[in-house]
Structure 1
Amino acid sequence: MAVIGATESEGAVGRSVMENLLDGYEGDVVPINPNADKVLGLEAYDSITDVAGIDLAIVVVPPQIVNGVLEEAGEAGVRDVAVITAGFGESGSEGAAREQEMQEIAEKYDMNLVGPNCLGVISTPVGMNATFTTKSALEGSISFMSQSGAFISAVLDWSSDHNIGFKDVVSLGNKAVLDEGDFIEHWGDDSSTDVILGYLEDIENGREFIESARKVTQDTPIVVVKSGRTEAGASAASSHTGAIAGSERAYEAGLQQAGVIRAESVQELFDYASILEGQPLPDNDEIAIVTNAGGPGVMSTDAVGDSGLQMASFTDETLESLEESMPEEANIFNPVDVLGDAPADRYEQALDIVLEDPNVGSAIVVASPQSIDFRDLAEVIAEKQQEYGAPIAASLMGGETARNAKDIIDEVGVPTYFDPARGVKSLDALREYSEIKTTDYGVASDFDVDRERAREILERTKERETNKLGIEAMDLLDAYGIPTPDSAIVTDKQAAVEAAKEIEGNVVMKIVSPDILHKSDIGGVEVNVAVEEVASTYDDIISRARNYQPDANILGVQVQEMADLDAGTETIVGMNRDPQFGPLVMFGLGGIFVEVLEDATFRVAPVSEDEASDMIDEIDSAPLLRGARGRDPVDENGVIETIQRISQLVTDFPQILELDINPLVATPDGVEAVDIRATIDHEEL
């Protein structure tokens, strides 16, 4: 290890890093400081070029000279660097320029670089603490990364009191070169890492993150706390999708598609880590509760209701065994109440019975300190976990008595909590990871579409003053095989009449203007118009539009075949392009209620058939599509295919910033896109 900027000055980062390394690192530590002969008793060198065989350089010099020493490190063949120094992209334009130069140097020398503006890195198997923290990490099998160095300092201090150990700890800093995806891939290949944890404030390469994490989570669970839940940018969006999406929706979808378990708090982060590190995965989603207190048993049951777990339904054999072995006053149904006077051996009897039940996938043991010795109970829990191999969590609801028993069940990786709800949520994290391991995300379909025609339609929009498109862009959907009603855009009332005659039955008429987004609100839409009323309706629609917005660019009126709304359900398929994750596809209940009800779900494109099907399952109004209240079920396959085709369209054309099909009318016989709205980036065309 070379510490560039090593010093003996009290309170200096360069001294703290040296002291931490010398305290436990098994290899050689080399101080680099041209102004010192020795640092902490070790010979100091003027430059890293004076030393051969450096595996890692830790840089703690002033920001103005960091890039100079990185050049020297690159020339010396150093490929791994941690830049602790701040004063880069986080500090204004001058710092951002320095960070850009740093990236160029790292690329030039094929350098793995952590930071800048970071706390450093820790690897416990070799005793390496290359940080300036006052506490190091206990050894364990959790690898942890964080964008906040201060958070790492707090975690290290806290974890030593809670006997939580780490394999690696990485402070990501500004992520100039290495980011969360790089470390996920590394730890995924590391047999010494059982669980990957992360505190993230952003994910810069969302799609790459998804692809990396999906591979890793087949073998190694990833749990992340993502801070910053503001829906930045949503207020500026002009589409329904954009108004609902926001950055938080993108992270929800992206982390879900990545197979990452999301913790809502720091407490949950380490609750989940402890149980994923120490317990096996459940065989099913059913949980048994064994308690000596009615109230905590009810609390546990409520927590199960708020989770993805189910209360186990005991077999008749289990109920008979419980009835025979438990006191008459005990409750033998789930949650099993062994009563307040229960000694440890009564818990043992109950656990033997419920854990033998094939319906039970996991169990939580809840106890209040009434007449039981928690250490005796801990011995029972540890023995039963080992005997049955099922995941168990414990809620020992006490203070010192619970702490005194914790070391016994820690030995077998059974986590214990004061609050039984935390135990249930942790077991639910095991269930979630079990599902993640078996998830088949599928591969996005590649439909036979007319990309060239779509490209020409988008190219023509460059001639317009606005980048907003309305129903005049329906041909874009047609090019991608999405069904649309017969229609024509006309610029005078006689042409409107002729167009209506070409369409069988009454028609819908809509104002065509990229400047008027909410056409219904201003009387710009008329439905069920008979042929003899078309001419006067044309004049009325144009007049209302002129009165509403005199300077609007009115392209004409669309005359469209009537969609059978009574036989179908109005849905919406849309897209908003997220800065980190790219195209975020939405599906939900459509029509005029989309932004009021916000019954919608999201996926990062490209979206596979399996993912599109899951999107339908996830909305609250899914029963409306499946025949609720005597309605005929709609053609779900048509909806699924439309979601995929929109996913393909917005993946093929990054120039599309926003897009809504609203409504996409779904009927038993198929789907039809009735209206479209889009925003185009002309500079990308």
Structure 2
Amino acid sequence: MGDLSPLFDPDAVAVIGATDRDGSVGRAITENLQDEFDGAVVPVNPSREEVLGLPCVQSLEAGPPVDLAVVVVPPDAAVDAVRDAGRAGVENVVVITAGFGETGSEGANRERRLRELAAEYELSLVGPNSLGIMSTPAGLNATFGPEIAREGSISLMSQSGAFITAVLDWASEQDVGFRHVVSLGNKAVLDESDFVRAWGSDPETDVVIGYLESIVDGESFLEATREVTTDTPVVIVKAGRTAAGAKAASSHTGAIAGSERAYRAGLAQAGVIRAESVQELFDAARALSGLTPPDSDGVAVVTNAGGPGVLTTDAVGDADLSIARFTDETSAALEASMPAEANTHNPIDVIGDATVERFETALDLALADPNVGSAVVVSAPTAVLAYEDLAAAIVDCQRRHGKPIVTSLMGGSRTGAADRVLREAGIPNYFDPARAVGGLDALSTFGRTRKRTLDEPTRFDVDEERAREILNRATERSGTQLGVESMDLLEAYGIPTPPGSVVTGPDEALAVASELGEEVVMKLVSPDISHKSDIGGVAVGVALEDVPDTYETLLTRARNYQPDATVLGVQVQEQLDLDDSTETIVGVNRDPQFGPLLVFGLGGIFVEVLDDTAVRVAPIGRDEAASMVEEIRANPLLRGARGREPADIDAIVETIQRLSQLVTTFPAILELDVNPLVAGPDGVQAIDLRVTVDTEKL
């Protein structure tokens, strides 16, 4: 999608379906446009000569040129109106009308027609089923909400129109301002990725925030936000969390990497700040829109109240921040300037009788400390303290030191004047100290995001054609489910596997086993039986003389468990020495929004019970792969706990990257489990494999 700035800064707006009928959407939008918009407002209604004192035109082609058309007529007529807009040369359209994809197959067909018309006429189209759009610099309120937002530097998109009206009403009382506001509606054409890109390149938008229930194209959204968050923060509330994706998956990986984990992993990789509530969304937005990120995570706390000071310290500990350790010089200066009863360590308690001067002295000394990146000022009201004067002193301190400060000047009516002083300087004030720390945490997170180096995926020298042949051959033989009979797929991508073969008879099994050692592992090979261990389909430590009987036993168990199951034979595999090794899992589940999700964690048959895994959206580079290994709780086990030799971490990291390359190259791979991937001091070995393939994509 091209430049969207004309959408928010039109010279003339047509309302298709404008009317003066009380209580109608057409009237509400026309009135809202008349309130503050300096451009021309053109009502379009063949049944009226005039609407609210404005001359009405019969059609877009019969009226003056417009830059934006707002459509409020019934669904079928709305499709015709969009076509007419395209023919009239209008480039921007907002479809308020409902009755499209949200209503069933007939509505979905109408919505498809909107997409076709938008493509044909190159329209920037918002909606349908939208509240509309706002732009405060242009005085543009093309919505049927009650009033335009206050002017500010936050741009807001929402999948819920009701969310917008409620937020704007609250924001008006809180004096929170917005630059642009978009109700996304059904996202038939323009979606969240388009607005992230548009606002990310807008120098007047300090922060992009959004309420989303779904993301149309996860890969596009991650690409857009990864780019934008190098300069502009993006904060999202994602509603509609569900485990449906995990329930629908058949593999270990699918059960682990459900829809919610996909969102969490993808948004974090792209540098998006995830808010868990509307309150968190705006707490973060207020800090991000007014403050510069700190240079370090060390926080100084200055308070006149012990209890709130403890709450603040706890909140810092819960966040990705730390209580700064003062230098000896700072500690000595604080001791010399504070009363004997004061606590001069961090958090600094200037005690209840503190004046503005004492607060300012403590804050000055703390901010001058090189170990301090930011500060939280927490105060309870007292008779000797004027909040407005304290606010002015805090502003002066921030200007002198250039380090971000957030405040929690607790109270009700006493805080009004102080709020205004702080707000003008871009310093957010929160009633709850924990919320103040939350805002500071978001600011610090964005600071780290801006400094990050984008991790480019490594391209390994692999045998792609061999992998393609294996996938094609295997699916021709056994359908969509592949198992250990396709271990060569891993070898084609440089992932080590133990020696072994799939055999179809007891004598062949003995012949293969004789070449592998005194004891072997034997596994049932069946695309129809997912978890072979559950039915006794895996035998470990099988002596050579027992190989033929074990072969027959495994086949009997398969027939008893599922008589109609396809059995391809038995895999005979070298028995590995696992004494110094750890069973891990590396897998992939292809998410409908974000594409391939990589999973790494502690493996074996209890992988879902232990739930010790890390998830990322592929493709990934070495840094992300290494962070997956570091992230799991069992990492000390891999590093060599209780005298064990450490596993070859580099080999694990490389295997994750190679698997990332495999599933990125082959979109036909829907799910893949390497479980276990045995990690030992001398490298890794992929012991078992399960793959689900979409044969139509091969």
Paired letter, 1:606: P
8 Å Cα contact 1:52/1:76 also seen in 2: no
Matches within 5 A, 1:420-439: 420-439=433-452
- Are 2:589 and 1:576 equivalent residues in the alignment? yes
Paired letter, 1:58: V
Q: What is the aligned partner in structure 1 of residue 539 from structure 2?
A: 526
Q: What is the aligned partner in structure 2 of residue 6 from structure 1?
A: 18
Q: What is the aligned partner in structure 2 of residue 448 from structure 1?
A: 461
- Are 2:403 and 1:390 equivalent residues in the alignment? yes
Deviation at 1:444, TM superposition (A): 1.4
8 Å Cα contact 1:143/1:187 also seen in 2: yes
Deviation at 1:146, TM superposition (A): 0.4
Q: What is the aligned partner in structure 2 of residue 669 from structure 1?
A: 682
Q: What is the aligned partner in structure 1 of residue 607 from structure 2?
A: 594
- Are 2:177 and 1:129 equivalent residues in the alignment? no
Q: Separation in 2 of the partners of 1:418 and 1:365?
A: 11
Q: Deviations over 1:141-194 (max 9, x none)?
A: 111100000100011111110001111000100000000000111111111111
Of residues 307, 311, 318, the one that matches 1:295 is 307
Q: Separation in 1 of the partners of 2:270 and 2:131?
A: 27
- Are 2:207 and 1:222 equivalent residues in the alignment? no
8 Å Cα contact 1:147/1:199 also seen in 2: yes
Deviation at 1:464, TM superposition (A): 4.4
Q: What is the aligned partner in structure 2 of residue 304 from structure 1?
A: 316
Of residues 599, 617, 629, the one that matches 1:616 is 629
Q: What is the aligned partner in structure 2 of residue 16 from structure 1?
A: 28
Deviates more, 1:152-161 or 1:651-660: 651-660
8 Å Cα contact 2:475/2:481 also seen in 1: no
Matches within 5 A, 1:185-204: 185-204=197-216
Q: Deviations over 1:551-589 (max 9, x none)?
A: 322211111012232121111111111111111111111
Of residues 169, 172, 177, the one that matches 1:165 is 177
Q: What is the aligned partner in structure 1 of residue 473 from structure 2?
A: 460
- Are 2:332 and 1:357 equivalent residues in the alignment? no
Q: Separation in 2 of the partners of 1:267 and 1:287?
A: 22
Q: Separation in 2 of the partners of 1:36 and 1:12?
A: 15
- Are 2:666 and 1:653 equivalent residues in the alignment? yes
Q: Separation in 2 of the partners of 1:239 and 1:489?
A: 22
8 Å Cα contact 1:441/1:610 also seen in 2: no
Q: Separation in 1 of the partners of 2:101 and 2:680?
A: 53
TM-score (norm 1): 0.98
Q: Separation in 2 of the partners of 1:85 and 1:464?
A: 51
Q: What is the aligned partner in structure 1 of residue 640 from structure 2?
A: 627
- Are 2:277 and 1:265 equivalent residues in the alignment? yes
Q: Separation in 2 of the partners of 1:407 and 1:644?
A: 52
Q: Separation in 2 of the partners of 1:538 and 1:189?
A: 65
SS at match of 1:591: coil
Of residues 506, 510, 521, the one that matches 2:519 is 506
Deviation at 1:5, TM superposition (A): 0.8
Of residues 327, 332, 356, the one that matches 2:344 is 332
Q: Separation in 2 of the partners of 1:450 and 1:462?
A: 19
Q: Deviations over 1:369-400 (max 9, x none)?
A: 13422222112111111211111111112111
CA RMSD of aligned residues (A): 1.2
Q: Percent identity?
A: 61
8 Å Cα contact 2:14/2:43 also seen in 1: yes
Paired letter, 1:613: A
SS at match of 1:48: coil
Paired letter, 1:339: I
Of residues 90, 96, 103, the one that matches 1:91 is 103
Q: What is the aligned partner in structure 2 of residue 54 from structure 1?
A: 66
Paired letter, 2:403: A
Q: Separation in 1 of the partners of 2:216 and 2:462?
A: 31
Q: What is the aligned partner in structure 1 of residue 115 from structure 2?
A: 103
Paired letter, 1:494: D
Runs of 4+ aligned structure 1 residues displaced above 3 Å come to 461-466
Q: Deviations over 1:574-614 (max 9, x none)?
A: 11111111111111111122101111111111111221111
SS at match of 2:459: coil
Q: Separation in 2 of the partners of 1:18 and 1:555?
A: 70
- Are 2:657 and 1:683 equivalent residues in the alignment? no
Q: Separation in 2 of the partners of 1:603 and 1:669?
A: 26
**Which runs of 5 or more residues in structure 1 are unaligned?**
none
Paired letter, 1:383: D
8 Å Cα contact 1:149/1:171 also seen in 2: yes
Q: What is the aligned partner in structure 2 of residue 179 from structure 1?
A: 191
Q: What is the aligned partner in structure 2 of residue 142 from structure 1?
A: 154
Of residues 431, 435, 443, the one that matches 1:418 is 431
Deviation at 1:537, TM superposition (A): 2.1
Of residues 556, 559, 568, the one that matches 1:543 is 556
- Are 2:136 and 1:115 equivalent residues in the alignment? no
Q: Separation in 2 of the partners of 1:441 and 1:515?
A: 41
8 Å Cα contact 1:585/1:604 also seen in 2: yes
Q: What is the aligned partner in structure 2 of residue 346 from structure 1?
A: 358
8 Å Cα contact 2:524/2:538 also seen in 1: yes
Paired letter, 2:499: D
Q: What is the aligned partner in structure 1 of residue 10 from structure 2?
A: none
Deviation at 1:52, TM superposition (A): 4.0
8 Å Cα contact 1:386/1:412 also seen in 2: no
TM-score (norm 2): 0.96
Q: What is the aligned partner in structure 2 of residue 77 from structure 1?
A: 89
SS at match of 2:597: strand
Q: Separation in 1 of the partners of 2:421 and 2:278?
A: 25
Deviation at 1:27, TM superposition (A): 0.9
8 Å Cα contact 2:235/2:284 also seen in 1: yes
Deviation at 1:465, TM superposition (A): 5.7
Q: Separation in 1 of the partners of 2:15 and 2:685?
A: 65
Deviation at 1:364, TM superposition (A): 0.3
Deviates more, 1:570-579 or 1:551-560: 551-560
Q: Separation in 2 of the partners of 1:565 and 1:211?
A: 41
Deviation at 1:51, TM superposition (A): 2.8
Deviation at 1:466, TM superposition (A): 4.5
8 Å Cα contact 1:416/1:423 also seen in 2: yes
Q: What is the aligned partner in structure 1 of residue 503 from structure 2?
A: 490
Deviation at 1:544, TM superposition (A): 2.6
**Which runs of 5 or more residues in structure 2 are unaligned?**
1-12
Q: Separation in 2 of the partners of 1:512 and 1:374?
A: 74
Of residues 654, 663, 673, the one that matches 1:641 is 654
Q: Deviations over 1:505-550 (max 9, x none)?
A: 4211111112222222222212122222222222222233333333
8 Å Cα contact 1:563/1:665 also seen in 2: no
Deviates more, 1:294-303 or 1:543-552: 543-552
SS at match of 1:49: coil
SS at match of 2:606: helix
Of residues 492, 500, 509, the one that matches 1:479 is 492
Matches within 5 A, 1:247-258: 247-258=259-270
Q: What is the aligned partner in structure 2 of residue 374 from structure 1?
A: 387
Paired letter, 2:538: V
8 Å Cα contact 2:225/2:271 also seen in 1: yes
Deviation at 1:64, TM superposition (A): 1.0
8 Å Cα contact 2:475/2:482 also seen in 1: no
Paired letter, 2:72: V
8 Å Cα contact 2:478/2:527 also seen in 1: no
- Are 2:618 and 1:605 equivalent residues in the alignment? yes
